[in-house]
């Protein structure tokens, strides 16, 4: 603005000077022209012309002065206007500076408020997050509590606090503190209440529910006493599928009736109680072994039948060897051969009787021939004594091989499951591992008794054969002695042979 006003003042002064110079030049040119045109004309005309030029010159001067006066007045007005404008400009500049200062102050104040707001929002978010974390932990604690099965509605009070759009307040904090104190009081409480649970038959059942803190829950309904398993998913009590052992059940019943102060607790958070229902019987283990279990069991059954038959058969042969052969030898020493033949014929077809029959029939032969006949008779009976023993030996060798085959098939099944589903769930691998281990266990369990039985029966056969050979030698000696005595008697009586 100051630059614009200065330029206008300079232009006004320039216009005034140029107007004065233009009027002076015009008057001079007019006098010179008049003098050149008239020259030597008459002096009167010159004077008249000079008067006119002078008049015009004065008129021009008067007009110039009037113009200068107007210009001066305009200049004065302009300068006053410029001064007024300069004052307004200064005032505006002062207003602008004050406004800028105000803006800067407001900006600083706004920054301070923004920083404070940010700090307040951070503290608020931290407080809200902490309360939600506490609410989440409390929900987990209550979900695992046995009391929730009796009062499942107390979880509803926490649902609004876990909502992200909900701002927790003091009322919510009070609710959480009340639930925590309630849970703490329940943790040290032993109570017997009426309630409902899912019975072992899968139906809703009413009965007495005993809760011992957060550790154990038991029930009594229709003279049945058992443990309860708490489900965190649906917040219900379920009766274990298996009843506890008799001694534990009696202890629970007496505790509920107030007859004793001692009770069985499960401090493993239900893991010990689950073992009651997950106890594998021998039949369960056999079922988990796969198809190869049944051939192994069949071998075991056949081996038992063979062993029983062989034990009784060899026992009979051994008893006959001691009794019958001893009796026959006594009769032979007395020379009562007819009675010996009668004893042997009573149970013909049995090993001992067949050997004795062969020896008695050959009593007229010499000693070497008689021994050979008896030895042949014993060897002839040996296959009957050793019958089924090679098969028993073979079963003892096949049983562990079948178990090893089950191990291989079980491991193949396990690797197949790993290929399809990975190793994330160990329970999916348990089928193949059970098959591998159960078949091996059963194979060895069957093979070891079979091998021991085979050894026992083989030794038993050897013992029976040894007794038969001993009795056969004794019979040979008796027959030979009787023959020598008879010959001596014939010689002493003069009777020729």
Answer yes or no: do 333 and 452 share one domain. Answer: yes
pLDDT score at 72: 93
Report yes or no on 50 lying in a domain: no
Answer yes or no: do 246 and 326 share one domain. Answer: no
Residue ending a domain, choose from 158, 188, 218? 188
Answer yes or no: do 181 and 257 share one domain. Answer: no
Eight-class DSSP state of 494: T
Q: Residue 445 CB: number of other CB atoms within 10 A? A: 16
Quick check: 196 pLDDT over 80?
yes
Asked whether the beta carbons of 128 and 168 are under 8 A apart, the reply is: yes
420 pLDDT tier (thresholds 50, 70, 90)? confident
Answer yes or no: do 305 and 439 share one domain. Answer: yes
Q: At what angle do helices 337-346 and 351-361 cross, to 10 degrees?
A: 150
Answer yes or no: do 206 and 170 share one domain. Answer: no
Answer yes or no: do 219 and 330 share one domain. Answer: no
DSSP string over 125-183? HHHHHHHHHHHHHHHHHHHT-THHHH-GGGGGGGTTTT-TT----HHHHHHHHHHHHHH
> pTM of the predicted model, to two decimals?
0.50
Quick check: 1 pLDDT over 50?
no
Residue ending a domain, choose from 188, 208, 240? 188
Report yes or no on 25 lying in a domain: no
Percent of the chain with pLDDT over 90: 24
Closest C-alpha to 365, from 468, 467, 475:
475
pLDDT tens across 349-391, in order? Answer: 677 777 877 887 877 777 788 888 888 888 888 888 888 899 9
For the record, the structure tokens of 162 come out as: 């876990």
Report yes or no on 249 lying in a domain: yes
pLDDT score at 116: 94
Rounded alpha-carbon distances, angstroms, from residue 254 to 111, 134, 214, 258: 75, 41, 21, 6
Answer yes or no: do 127 and 173 share one domain. Answer: yes
Answer yes or no: do 334 and 457 share one domain. Answer: yes
Report yes or no on 20 lying in a domain: no
Domain count along the chain: 3
The position carrying tokens 């369960």 is 284
How many degrees, rounded to 5, is the angle at CA 458 between CA 455 and CA 461? 150
Quick check: 19 pLDDT over 60?
no
Closest C-alpha to 360, from 387, 393, 335:
335
Residues in the chain: 497
pLDDT tens across 281-340, in order? Answer: 777 777 777 788 899 999 999 999 999 999 998 888 777 777 777 777 788 777 777 787
Q: Which domain holds residue 328?
A: 292-493
Of 174-183, 209-218, 276-285, 475-484, the one with minimum mean pLDDT is 276-285
Rounded Cα distance, 394 and 16, in Å: 148
Residues 6+ apart with CB under 8 A from 374: 355, 358, 359, 362, 472, 473, 475, 476
pLDDT score at 79: 94
């Amino acid at each position: 603005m100051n630059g614009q006003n200065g330029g206008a003042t300079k232009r006004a002064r320039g216009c005034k000077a140029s107007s004065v110079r233009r009027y002076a030049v015009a008057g001079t040119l007019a006098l010179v022209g008049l003098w050149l045109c008239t020259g030597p004309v008459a002096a009167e005309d010159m004077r008249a012309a000079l008067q006119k030029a002078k008049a015009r010159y004065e008129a021009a001067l008067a007009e110039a002065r009037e113009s200068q006066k107007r210009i001066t007045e305009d200049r004065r007005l302009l300068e006053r206007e410029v001064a007024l404008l300069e004052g307004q400009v200064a005032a505006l500049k002062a207003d602008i500076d004050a406004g800028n200062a105000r803006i800067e102050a407001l900006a600083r104040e706004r920054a301070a408020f923004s920083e404070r707001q940010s700090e307040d929002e951070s503290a608020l978010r931290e407080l809200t997050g902490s309360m939600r974390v506490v609410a989440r932990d409390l929900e987990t604690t209550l979900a695992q509590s046995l009391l929730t099965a009796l009062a499942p509605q107390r979880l509803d009070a926490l649902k609004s606090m876990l909502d992200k759009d909900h701002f927790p307040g003091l009322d919510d904090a009070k609710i959480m503190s009340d639930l925590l104190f309630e849970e703490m009081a329940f943790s040290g409480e032993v109570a017997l209440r009426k309630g409902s649970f899912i019975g072992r038959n899968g139906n809703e059942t009413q009965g007495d529910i005993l809760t011992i803190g957060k550790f154990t829950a038991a029930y009594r309904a229709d003279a049945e006493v058992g443990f309860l398993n708490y489900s965190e998913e649906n917040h219900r009590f379920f009766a274990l599928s298996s009843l506890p052992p008799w001694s534990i059940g009696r202890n629970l019943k007496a505790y509920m009736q107030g007859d004793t102060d001692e009770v069985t607790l499960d401090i493993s958070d239900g893991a010990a109680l689950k073992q009651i229902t997950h106890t594998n019987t021998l039949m369960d283990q056999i079922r988990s072994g796969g198809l190869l279990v049944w051939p192994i069991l069949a071998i075991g059954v056949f081996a038992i039948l063979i062993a029983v038959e062989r034990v009784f058969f060899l026992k009979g042969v051994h008893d006959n060897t001691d009794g019958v052969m001893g009796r026959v030898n006594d009769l032979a020493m007395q020379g009562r051969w007819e009675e010996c033949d009668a004893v042997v014929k009573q149970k013909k077809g049995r090993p001992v009787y067949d050997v004795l029959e062969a020896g008695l029939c050959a009593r007229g032969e010499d000693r070497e021939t008689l021994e050979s006949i008896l030895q042949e008779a014993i060897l002839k009976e040996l296959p009957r004594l050793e019958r089924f023993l090679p098969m028993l030996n073979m079963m003892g060798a096949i049983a562990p091989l079948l178990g090893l085959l089950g191990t291989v098939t079980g491991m193949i099944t396990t690797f197949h499951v790993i290929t399809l589903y990975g190793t994330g769930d160990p329970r999916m691998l348990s089928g193949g591992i059970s098959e591998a281990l159960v078949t091996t266990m059963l194979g060895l369990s069957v093979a070891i008794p079979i091998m021991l039985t085979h050894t026992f029966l083989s030794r038993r056969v050897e013992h029976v054969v040894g007794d038969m050979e001993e009795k056969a030698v004794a019979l040979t000696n008796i027959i030979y002695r009787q023959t020598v005595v008879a010959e001596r008697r014939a010689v002493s009586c003069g009777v020729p042979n």
